[in-house]
Structure 1
């Protein structure tokens, strides 16, 4: 789970999860698409199949305000601009028209550049508040194209240089003097480009591109070398039309209408993904239609035919005894595994998980270790428990005075002085239990191996304190089986060391039997424990995460930080306090502290050394129990 220090800082960059979530919510509001998700890639783009949009990394490594404005301009342009005002059908016709042209990439990206120009102007008129972000965008991109113009021209990348020239023409000045000596009728090209200022649709911009291509196709032989726009790459005939099963007849398919806008494309894919995510559609069917079989593939029955193969079902009533022990074990495992689906977030759609009780290894070494650690903890736990009980007693003795009914107060002067006297009081109902519940998640990844004993020691103290105070709690490790994780299936395991149902049962040996495994999927684990805590009746709910770094699992590297932050925010909204303890053998760096703050907010603590794990655990418990006592 600990992230490696890579050889160059650029490769070790992390994203600001809070900011990215802010952009995502803004994009959802502007597009009126609550399912929309946002990531960061090389160029800003759309992914209809995934239901996502991407910001460009172009805005990184700049002053904070510039980065923010640039990213906002990406969000505005995609969701308020391209989302509802870019014609998908015209785009598909255009791509087909230039499919075999030697300047195909130039034609496609020129159209997207002209549409960017049109849509920026359109969004600014509709939403004047976006003008500041677009002003920053124009300024930075103009500087970029001015810098690239001469360089591309000198290298002989004439298509790229013309892209730079046309961007400058559109956004700076139609009459600006060119800084390079073109062998093209550049004034006429500028004049054609000027028609973009009056264009009101994608089809009109296509006409502008056609005229420019006609002027240059015999002079410029080489297509674009660099890519400037990726927004159209994912919009193909496949994404813009319904999918019908290959076995269906043409008459059964109906009319496969092409979507007109990106909004329609996204919504269609979203509906299809939603409808095809259930267990009832785990077949090779995509779009079925009611109809009767034509009988062409029927085979005549033969009652004298020999039985060549027998099969048995998986029902509990089947006692044929034809299964081997290995087959029984595999079937039991399938039944024990649960599918996460979309309930736990899009990042975990292919996760299957099982909840396994950690078997207590009752050997001599564990028994000696358990006795030794408890003997070391005894004075700290005794004083801590006594302190908490005194706080509870003080809370119980407190009176509520000034009540209209109850016990009569010995001070009766209020009857004479007050206009509406309230001379009664009540004692708080005594209770020896705290109205609180705790869930503890322990990182079970391989990087915890070098600090495993110290972690067990801290978890044991956590368990013993809450057990003596009769506070319900659950302790579980979490890990992903990296050896069997694939794109279609990511198996995860929760190792239960103590459950809510076991109440005050001593599970010290189970805690000492916990072992490390492979990867960790923090956002998923937090959502899992959140659901278990929400089922509890207690008023104060706390979720602690003991980990030693950032999330790391199959396809979860960069997105894991954002997903973990989102899971924490979801839990907090539902009244669960999430607290993180960073377990490390040395003091965390500033970068690490910033990362934990990004994922867990201001509820992240760190130990300076492995010996301090138990001390930090006790400090955290003291603060949280004080909150529960009130």
Structure 2
């Protein structure tokens, strides 16, 4: 997928994320735990989520895998089972009242992690190699930070790095000076205090040790830390901001107190501000709200509001199960989405990540005269390819029908009887070929209609027409569906996903079918896992033995809240479909096929069942051998 600006746009190794998720669920003995990436490692007990640190992304793959797995093991075996959440909350409140809260929190976090690493190694000795790699990478990182902070004069950051190096040192020769900025008496007290960490056997004792160390350093350090290297191991959901009804109804006062005396004869000036912009697909049904903080108080009341109705939304920011009203304007897509809006509490049939994704089926509309003319042009362009494939398949069928099978133990006696005298167990019989059979196959073609397909859609339509004309000639049922997600309407509670049925299974073999393919156009985002699961359901309802799902796409999925989990969800959807007997193949379109990270991402999603087409003009040549292989397998 082409992007003009990239912020933290790192490729996600879907197989590695699945390994981490499986590891977390195995250690927790529960399928509800999930793994996400964050700036620092931690565990959210309420959400049942483990956060893996992004610090490890810069290291080579073997070290990166061991360090990320150590994050999961540390949080699940250590923090989840051996960290006192009440002690962590009490420590958080105590730290906020100190003069150096950042240093205190980070020192406690590293100390608690080191204590838990020893606990994990005792309970599960097999984790030692992961924690050794973790400490090695951390020591290398903090030695660099110790040198850099000593140069720039960040004394609190320098002290934290030195303390971690001292706590993880394997030899007295590896020691670095803890507090060279302190006087001799302070250094002596610190040298006597820091080894007491190894006597800590609980979260509360670790907290008391960290408080004692920071209390001693408060007299030496002029200020708190500049950087954040870690955070508390348990994410405190009780202190997260919760939006209340008062927050929603809040009205901030004006900054000034002046008022305007209304005059009956005064002239009132009104200005209409349009709500349409080029990102919207229609001009009606938009909500525009202003929060005025400066202005003059008047006695005027606005008359722009309309009477409410039963189907109105309670708030403009919430897209609930509302219905169109008589005093508003809605387009055809909004009417379709209202009719298909899912009710709450029905679970997640299309995956947990797609719990809030709603299915909106768009029916096929009659093709326009322009589409009919364009279809005839493209149909003539793909006719040679269609004829070649049909001729090959018909010749192969005829060969299968007329070929004789010889050297059989039973059947018709052949004329050559010499093997009866020369062989110990002669095979003297033959059978004629079976009568010609038709192809017992069904095809589902999913087309990515996201905005990134705008420069590839025309050539993609040519490939779709080739598939349709070939399968229609060979009497193989198929369906062609375009999918996209409307980014303008997507919210945290409702993400409309449109499925445009260009050609249905029922209409695929009709002579007049085909021009509706040209109605597919690029729109917004793409939620591939959702679309693949939906098409899998449609194919499983078909009676044919050979089921093929072909996905036309030009990159990784991207939709509302789908950035991190989109690759994983799509891969899981592909694995589920293959487990149920459906062959899923991706046709990757565009110049991104030459990019190594992109190729690896697509391979992680679809495995070896993917075809890269760097130039869309090569699509027809790549489709011919695929169709031939699948049709032969259907017999």
TM-score (norm 2): 0.77
Q: What CA distance in whole angstroms lies between the structure 2 residues aligned with 1:11 and 1:210?
A: 36
Q: What CA distance in whole angstroms lies between the structure 1 residues aligned with 2:48 and 2:399?
A: 55
Q: What CA distance in whole angstroms lies between the structure 2 residues aligned with 1:42 and 1:532?
A: 41
Give SS of 2:11's match: coil
Alpha carbons of structure 1 residues 213 and 368: separation in structure 2 relative to 1, 3 Å: closer
Mapping of residues 18-37 of structure 1, within 5 Å = 18-37=15-34
Alpha carbons of structure 1 residues 118 and 324: separation in structure 2 relative to 1, 3 Å: closer
Q: Which residue of 1 aligns with 2:565?
A: 559
- 2:449 aligned with 1:449, yes or no? no
Q: Which residue of 1 aligns with 2:41?
A: 44
Which residue among 447, 469, 485 is the counterpart of 1:464? 469
Give SS of 1:342's match: coil
**Alpha-carbon shift at residue 519 of structure 1 (Å):** 1.6
- 2:332 aligned with 1:334, yes or no? no
Q: Which residue of 1 aligns with 2:101?
A: 104
Mapping of residues 34-433 of structure 1, within 5 Å = 34-172=31-169, 175=172, 177-179=175-177, 181-183=180-182, 185-232=186-233, 234-237=235-238, 333-338=337-342, 342-363=348-369, 365-395=370-400, 430=435, 432-433=437-438
Q: What CA distance in whole angstroms lies between the structure 1 residues aligned with 2:195 and 2:543?
A: 68
Alpha carbons of structure 1 residues 207 and 174: separation in structure 2 relative to 1, 3 Å: farther
Alpha carbons of structure 1 residues 50 and 396: separation in structure 2 relative to 1, 3 Å: farther
Q: Which residue of 2 aligns with 1:534?
A: 540
Q: What CA distance in whole angstroms lies between the structure 1 residues aligned with 2:366 and 2:93?
A: 66
**Alpha-carbon shift at residue 474 of structure 1 (Å):** 1.3
Q: What CA distance in whole angstroms lies between the structure 1 residues aligned with 2:491 and 2:338?
A: 17
Moved more, 391-400 or 453-462: 391-400
Q: Which residue of 2 aligns with 1:496?
A: 501
Q: What CA distance in whole angstroms lies between the structure 1 residues aligned with 2:309 and 2:618?
A: 62
Q: Which residue of 1 aligns with 2:515?
A: 509
Q: What CA distance in whole angstroms lies between the structure 1 residues aligned with 2:501 and 2:375?
A: 18
| Cα deviation digits, residues 529-585 of structure 1 (max 9, x gap) | 122222333332211111122222223234323332232223223322221112226
- 2:484 aligned with 1:479, yes or no? yes
- 2:555 aligned with 1:549, yes or no? yes
Which residue among 579, 591, 600 is the counterpart of 1:594? 600
**Alpha-carbon shift at residue 510 of structure 1 (Å):** 0.7
Give SS of 1:544's match: strand
Give SS of 1:482's match: coil
Q: What CA distance in whole angstroms lies between the structure 1 residues aligned with 2:329 and 2:238?
A: 47
| Cα deviation digits, residues 328-381 of structure 1 (max 9, x gap) | 976664223447952222332221121112313231x32222222222322321
Alpha carbons of structure 1 residues 444 and 384: separation in structure 2 relative to 1, 3 Å: same
Q: Is the 8 A contact 1:43 1:230 kept in 2?
A: yes
Q: What CA distance in whole angstroms lies between the structure 1 residues aligned with 2:58 and 2:233?
A: 26
Q: Which residue of 2 aligns with 1:274?
A: none
**Alpha-carbon shift at residue 415 of structure 1 (Å):** 11
Q: What CA distance in whole angstroms lies between the structure 1 residues aligned with 2:19 and 2:569?
A: 13
**Alpha-carbon shift at residue 141 of structure 1 (Å):** 0.9
Give SS of 2:97's match: coil
Q: Which residue of 1 aligns with 2:266?
A: none
Determine which structure has the larger helix proportion and give its number: 1
Report how many aligned residue pairs link the two structures.
552
Q: Is the 8 A contact 1:14 1:558 kept in 2?
A: no
Q: Is the 8 A contact 2:34 2:48 kept in 1?
A: yes
Q: What CA distance in whole angstroms lies between the structure 2 residues aligned with 1:28 and 1:475?
A: 38
Q: What CA distance in whole angstroms lies between the structure 2 residues aligned with 1:414 and 1:190?
A: 96
| Cα deviation digits, residues 207-264 of structure 1 (max 9, x gap) | 322332342334435233222223536224468xxx9x99xxxxxxxxxxxxxxxxxx
Structure 1 unmatched runs, 5+: 247-307, 314-321
Alpha carbons of structure 1 residues 102 and 602: separation in structure 2 relative to 1, 3 Å: same
**Alpha-carbon shift at residue 481 of structure 1 (Å):** 1.0
Q: Is the 8 A contact 1:338 1:354 kept in 2?
A: no
Q: Is the 8 A contact 2:447 2:553 kept in 1?
A: yes
**Alpha-carbon shift at residue 36 of structure 1 (Å):** 2.0
Give SS of 1:450's match: coil
Alpha carbons of structure 1 residues 327 and 423: separation in structure 2 relative to 1, 3 Å: same
**Alpha-carbon shift at residue 178 of structure 1 (Å):** 3.4
**Alpha-carbon shift at residue 588 of structure 1 (Å):** 3.2
Give SS of 1:483's match: coil
Q: Is the 8 A contact 1:451 1:610 kept in 2?
A: yes
- 2:611 aligned with 1:605, yes or no? yes
Which residue among 573, 577, 583 is the counterpart of 1:577? 583
Give SS of 1:122's match: helix
**Alpha-carbon shift at residue 400 of structure 1 (Å):** 8.2
Give SS of 1:491's match: strand
Alpha carbons of structure 1 residues 15 and 382: separation in structure 2 relative to 1, 3 Å: same
| Cα deviation digits, residues 116-163 of structure 1 (max 9, x gap) | 111111212222222222112111211222222243345443332222
**Alpha-carbon shift at residue 191 of structure 1 (Å):** 3.6
Q: Is the 8 A contact 1:477 1:496 kept in 2?
A: yes
Alpha carbons of structure 1 residues 530 and 400: separation in structure 2 relative to 1, 3 Å: farther
Q: Is the 8 A contact 2:385 2:620 kept in 1?
A: no
TM-score (norm 1): 0.78
Alpha carbons of structure 1 residues 575 and 218: separation in structure 2 relative to 1, 3 Å: same
Which residue among 525, 530, 542 is the counterpart of 1:524? 530
**Alpha-carbon shift at residue 508 of structure 1 (Å):** 0.9
Q: Is the 8 A contact 1:77 1:123 kept in 2?
A: yes
